Amino acid sequence: MAEGLLQVDVASLVEDVLQQHGKRLSDIDLASRKAEEASSRRCEAAGWLRKMVGVVVGKDLPDQPSEEEFRLGLRSGIILCNALNKVQPGAVTKVVEAPSDAVIVPDGAALSAYQYFENIRNFLDSVGGMGIPVFEASDLEQGGKSCRIVNCVLALKSYNDWKEGGGRGVWKFSGTSKPPSIAKQFVRKNSELFMNSLSRNSSINEKFSDSLSSEQNSCSDLGQHISETGISHSLHILVRELLSDKKQEDIPMVVENMLSKVMEEFELRLARQNDQVRQTLRDMGIPSSNKHEEIEIANIVQEKSWSENGFYDGKSKGDALNHQGLVEHQQKSIQALKNTLHSTKEDVQMICMKYQEEINNLGKHLNGLVSAASGYQKVLEENRKLYNQVQDLKGNIRVYCRIRPFLPGQPSGSSIVEVIDEKTLTVLTPSKHGKGKKSFTFNRVFGPSANQEEVFSDTQPLIRSVLDGYNVCIFAYGQTGSGKTHTMTGPRELTKESIGVNYRALSDLFLISEQRKDSISYDVSVQMIEIYNEQSGVNVPSANLVPVTSTTEVLNLMNIGMKNRVVGSTAMNDRSSRSHSCLTVHVQGRDLSSGSVLRGCMHLVDLAGSERADKTEAVGERLKEAQHINRSLSALGDVISSLAQKNSHVPYRNSKLTQLLQDSLGGQAKTLMFIHISPEPNALGETISTLKFAERVSTVELGAARANKESVDVRELKEQIASLKAALMRKERGESGIQQSRSISPDEVLATSLGSSPSHSSWQSLGDTSKVEGRSNPLTISRVQSFDNQDFMDSPPWPALSSPGSMDEEKCISGDWVDKVIVKKQGGLSGDSNLGKWDEDGGQSPEMFYQKYNLENSKVYPVQSLNQLSDHRRFGLDHGLGRTQCEARANDEPDDLEAETSDCSEIDYQWQLSVPRSNCIPNGVTSKVGRVSPKPIKSPETRSLIPQPRRVVNGMRSPLHKYGRQPASTDGKRKPGGLK
Ligand SMILES: Nc1ncnc2c1ncn2[C@@H]1O[C@H](COP(=O)(O)OP(=O)(O)OP(=O)(O)O)[C@@H](O)[C@H]1O
């Protein structure tokens, strides 16, 4: 803005001046200008003459004479003649001198007109001859034209100058103009400043001066010059107009006048601009502290303006102005910087705002992401829950795999098992098994470094389930020495850290029951059962079902049980478990507010080690043990296979083990199998066999787990029904019937009729049911026989089955378990020879019971209703009708034992056993009637010694199993001792 104000266009300025003053310029008083010029010329001429003739001769002529003085001084002609003689010696041979000082004429007049005339004439003649313009003698008189005298003198002077300059060329007087001196003189007089600018502007000054001094200094020339300097066309026209009617000799004065006006205008504009600049500076906030500074700023502005217009390059103003210019420039720079700063600040603020906005948006976005992430976590958790629920609903057996570490003292070698992630492992297989890696996936894989706590942590939820009324089964499977006992119980020396699943589970159980005591009252009882050589027994003497109230009590019992467990030394494990050990925990909870009852049970099973007979180097008793162990494990494989194939018939009954686990393998239980593998290369076959078996197990669907819970109302109604049915049954038998051996509570009837687990039945039958349920039942009926652990203990050797054709057809009963039981009991009570034995021990001989019951059921249950039956019923049917060729063959071929044992040498021996045999019909139920072998079934299990049931003492049965009372025989089958 300031710069714009400072810019001055000279051309437009002159143009403006001419437009404003052009007309008036013609009115300028040329006379005065002329007089002035004449005076100047006169003085010049006088000065030159005095110089030429000297002070003495020229005493009559003042230095700056008036016209009169000039004329009088030269009137005698003496000065002129002397001057001429100086220029041209001898030009006037005789100069009439003035009289002596005594004869001085007061008015300066010549002594005589003649004498004067003589001198003047000689002079004029001489100069005339020299080509110098002359004057009239009368011009020296008053009224004469002194200007002609001046012209003559100046011409002579010019001649003299030419001559003194060497007289080169031809001297030629150029007239009245006195180019440089005149121009200089009058310009300097008006404006030195402007002249300076002109002198610096060569394009204007030189040409302008030249034009003034030139003989062709016509208006057109001047106009041409002006035009050539780039002045606008309108200016050119104006100048031409202005000068066109002027005499040549007037032009300098006109121009001077015009320029003086231009200067005035110029200075006026500069003043205005200075004001504007000051105002601008004030507006810009730059204080001008004093007048001096203002002037300097104005000068700088002016200088800049001139400089920009080409008049002035700043040098002549000196360093001060330069300094001021620098200061001003710096101030301007500062201001510019301030402006930049300001705009930058605004920009920064803008950016900050945008940044803030973006931050806010980002924050919102992040919040969204955080909530999405937490939502995602929730969804993940939910998914996990749902997954478990789905698993529960599907009822899959969960399979966890644990890899034992190399043991101290073992030859160190590289492990054949590699944990890939928490669900996957690979086994390195040498060429024999197809070189490479076989990978297996389970619900969890625990590497060799996993400790007891980690292993248990994934088991914990199941403990809670027991208290919620579910049946739970946790069993450990694996090759001898692979770590089953370590997982379930712990190492030989137990510490808080090393205790196994059993102890931890019970500890949790009591902890949770304690936490819930305000709402639910729990009763817990435990039982330790051992299956040794397909014979079962209790490990805890004096009682097979012991109420417990704390972990310590359980630990004491378990210690006793563990001491009584059959262990022996094999080539693979110097402390090998030679039996299947099952710790069963029964829980009954009563909701204190609603009165509803929950029942749950948990089997904690430590299976005997699977092993190849040849590997264990077993002979004698140890070989027999191995055969039994493998047989029962093979039976387990068969059961698993049947379940995996969803066969309607599942051969639980083929071994005590599968009978024991029946409610957990096929019922509505939550089942977890820990499989154990060893890392040694020489265990590869067993390892792969175990893994394949486990893989297969993991596909088994058990059906949705269901809590054993019932409300008080429903329960009361069911009790009534059960009572009525029991009464009806008694009535049907007649009052004269056989004395009932034992009273049965409606609960017992209900328990079976509702399909609760055999364990529950067992518990109820062994305990004081009226106490458990908090009510007494006056009804006395025959003991309900369920297939439970007690049955294992009580079961005598299996008698030969009659052919189905020999079975008595009995009436079909509607399918209720109670009915079934009743019918069974009826059969049992209607004159069976074994009855006395049963009664004697407070119940029917299981052997007889099974036989009778099965036969009866084969007639009672229509084939099409089988699938709707509970497991108990199915078991009943399996037992009676379900003796398919498969089972029959299994039972009919005791020699298979050897074959099965030898099968163990094959990697997939379980699968060989589990694959349905060719003559097995999947649906054994439908096919069994016509195919049941008439051959009496030989059951290896039943050949074993089965302990006799004992009477109930104080609500508990007396110790039954011989192994419960005495340690293993000296052959190492049983060893007393503490915990392993
Ligand atoms: N995870 C483990 N960490 C440390 N030692 C272990 C582990 N698993 C097993 N062992 C040790 O290996 C040996 C054999 O283990 P264990 O007796 O538990 O095997 P097992 O499968 O029960 O054998 P068997 O079937 O012959 O009874 C024991 O000395 C045991 O302490």
- pLDDT by residue (tens digit) across 663-717? 767 666 788 899 999 998 888 888 998 999 898 888 776 666 666 666 666 777 7
485 Cβ inside 6 Å of ligand 1:
yes
pLDDT in tens, 128-151: 888 888 888 888 888 888 888 988
Distances in whole angstroms, Cα of residue 607 to Cα of each of 620, 632, 871: 21, 10, 23
Q: Is the pLDDT of residue 942 over 60?
A: no
Q: CB of 404 within 8 A of CB of 705?
A: no
Tell me, in angstroms, the distance from the centre of ligand 1 to residue 555's CA.
20
Ligand 1 closest atom vs CA 980: 17
379 vs 948, more confident: 379
Tell me, in angstroms, the distance from the centre of ligand 1 to residue 548's CA.
28
Q: CB of 722 within 8 A of CB of 746?
A: yes
First to last CA, the chain: 104
pLDDT in tens, 407-427: 888 776 788 899 999 899 999
Q: Which of 400, 404, 494 to mutate to test the pocket of ligand 1 (most atoms within 8 A of CB)?
A: 404
679 Cβ inside 6 Å of ligand 1:
no
Give the residue among 908, 659, 929 at the shortest CA–CA distance from 794: 659
Q: CB of 136 within 8 A of CB of 148?
A: yes
Positive or negative, the CA dihedral 16, 19, 21, 27 is positive
Query: How would residue 111 be classed by pLDDT, with cut points 50, 70 and 90?
Result: low
Q: Is the pLDDT of residue 327 over 90?
A: no
917 vs 730, more confident: 730
788 vs 295, more confident: 295
Note whether ipTM > 0.85 here: yes
Query: How would residue 487 be classed by pLDDT, with cut points 50, 70 and 90?
Result: very high
Do 1-302 and 395-697 share a fold?
no
pLDDT in tens, 161-208: 888 888 777 777 665 444 433 333 333 333 344 334 333 343 333 444
Tell me, in angstroms, the distance from the centre of ligand 1 to residue 342's CA.
82
State the pLDDT at residue 454.
Answer: 92
- Helix (H) or strand (E) holding 697, with range, is helix 684-697
Ligand 1 closest atom vs CA 607: 25
Tell me, in angstroms, the distance from the centre of ligand 1 to residue 654's CA.
28
State the pLDDT at residue 718.
Answer: 78
HSE, side-chain direction, 13 A CA sphere, residue 384 = 6
The number of angstroms, rounded, from the C-alpha of 73 to the middle of its chain's C-alpha atoms is: 115
What's the one-letter identity of residue 756? Answer: S
Q: CB of 648 within 8 A of CB of 866?
A: yes
Pairing of strands 471-478, 597-606: parallel
Alpha-helical segments (H) within 66-178: 67-74, 78-87, 113-129, 146-164
Check the annotation: does 485 bind a ligand.
yes
Distances in whole angstroms, Cα of residue 810 to Cα of each of 824, 827, 853: 11, 10, 12
Check the annotation: does 330 bind a ligand.
no
Give the residue among 197, 256, 255, 207 at the shortest CA–CA distance from 227: 207
Q: Is 108 left (phi over 0), alpha (psi -120 to 50) or beta?
A: left
CA angle (217, 223, 227) in 5-degree steps: 135
Closest residue by CA, ligand 1 atom 10? 483
Q: Does domain 1-302 have CATH number 1.10.418.10?
A: yes
SS3 358: helix
Tell me, in angstroms, the distance from the centre of ligand 1 to residue 972's CA.
19
Q: CB of 714 within 8 A of CB of 594?
A: no
CA angle (19, 218, 130) in 5-degree steps: 145
Check the annotation: does 452 bind a ligand.
no
pLDDT in tens, 921-934: 333 323 333 333 33
Q: Is the pLDDT of residue 478 over 50?
A: yes
Check the annotation: does 480 bind a ligand.
yes
pLDDT in tens, 46-104: 999 998 888 888 888 888 888 888 888 888 888 888 899 988 888 888 888 766 544 44
Q: What is the C-alpha to C-alpha distance for residues 329 and 315, in angstroms, rounded to an integer?
A: 16
Residues near 646 by Cβ (< 8 Å), separated by ≥ 6?
701
Pairing of strands 576-577, 424-429: unpaired
Q: Is the pLDDT of residue 797 over 50?
A: no
Q: What is the C-alpha to C-alpha distance for residues 437 and 356, in angstroms, rounded to an integer?
A: 57
Tell me, in angstroms, the distance from the centre of ligand 1 to residue 460's CA.
22
Check the annotation: does 690 bind a ligand.
no
Distances in whole angstroms, Cα of residue 115 to Cα of each of 59, 118, 133, 320: 19, 5, 22, 66
Tell me, in angstroms, the distance from the centre of ligand 1 to residue 659's CA.
26
The number of angstroms, rounded, from the C-alpha of 232 to the middle of its chain's C-alpha atoms is: 73
What's the one-letter identity of residue 19? Answer: Q
What are the boundaries of each domain within the chain?
Answer: 1-302, 395-697, 711-884+921-962
Closest residue by CA, ligand 1 atom 8? 483
Give the residue among 626, 529, 614, 539 at the shortest CA–CA distance from 576: 626
Q: CB of 927 within 8 A of CB of 921?
A: yes
Pairing of strands 597-606, 398-403: unpaired
Q: What is the C-alpha to C-alpha distance for residues 47 and 538, in angstroms, rounded to an integer?
A: 163
447 Cβ inside 6 Å of ligand 1:
no
Check the annotation: does 483 bind a ligand.
yes
Q: What is the C-alpha to C-alpha distance for residues 294 and 307, in angstroms, rounded to an integer?
A: 19
Positive or negative, the CA dihedral 569, 574, 580, 585 is positive
- Strands (E) in 460-563, as ranges, are 471-478, 520-532, 535-538, 546-548
Q: What is the C-alpha to C-alpha distance for residues 755 and 760, in angstroms, rounded to an integer?
A: 10
Pairing of strands 398-403, 669-677: parallel
Give the other-Cβ count within 10 Å of 801's Cβ: 24
581 Cβ inside 6 Å of ligand 1:
no
Closest residue by CA, ligand 1 atom 9? 483
The number of angstroms, rounded, from the C-alpha of 165 to the middle of its chain's C-alpha atoms is: 101
Give the residue among 429, 757, 334, 732 at the shortest CA–CA distance from 585: 757
Check the annotation: does 484 bind a ligand.
yes
565 Cβ inside 6 Å of ligand 1:
no
481 Cβ inside 6 Å of ligand 1:
yes
State the pLDDT at residue 309.
Answer: 53
Tell me, in angstroms, the distance from the centre of ligand 1 to residue 542's CA.
30
Packing angle of the helix pair 656-665, 758-766 (nearest 10 deg)? 110
Check the annotation: does 478 bind a ligand.
yes
For 395-697, the fitting CATH number among 3.10.20.30, 3.40.850.10, 3.90.226.10, 1.20.58.740 is 3.40.850.10
